[in-house]
Amino acid sequence: MSAAFTVRLDETTLGALDQLAEKTERSRNWLVAKAVENYVALNAWQVGKIETGLAAADRGEFASDAELARLRKKFAADT
């Protein structure tokens, strides 16, 4: 089941949406629904990762000095 609601867009964004809809042979509604779906999924994933990291930190689970040194060496800029 789906529910309807109103979204207000500025003219530039609406024009770009219409062009994309035409080029992809999709409706405005389909594109907006997919955009919202993707945004919600991505942000839910990100919040989940943050919560997992915070819980690990609360338990005192941090990288060791040796692990940090290995990462520093791995990502150090060549000088």
Q: How many CB atoms sit inside 10 A of residue 31's CB?
A: 15
In a domain, 3, yes or no: no
Tell me the C-alpha to C-alpha distance, in Å, between residue 47 and each of 29, 35, 61.
Answer: 27, 18, 19
Q: State the DSSP code for 25.
A: T
Distance separating the N- and C-terminal Cα atoms of the chain: 59
In a domain, 6, yes or no: no
Q: What is the pLDDT of residue 78?
A: 58
pLDDT tens digit string along 16-55? 999 999 999 999 999 999 999 999 999 999 999 999 999 9
- DSSP codes of every residue in 48-66: HHHHHHHHHHHTT----HH
Q: What is the pLDDT of residue 43?
A: 98
The count of structural domains within the chain is: 1
* Structural domain containing residue 61: 11-75
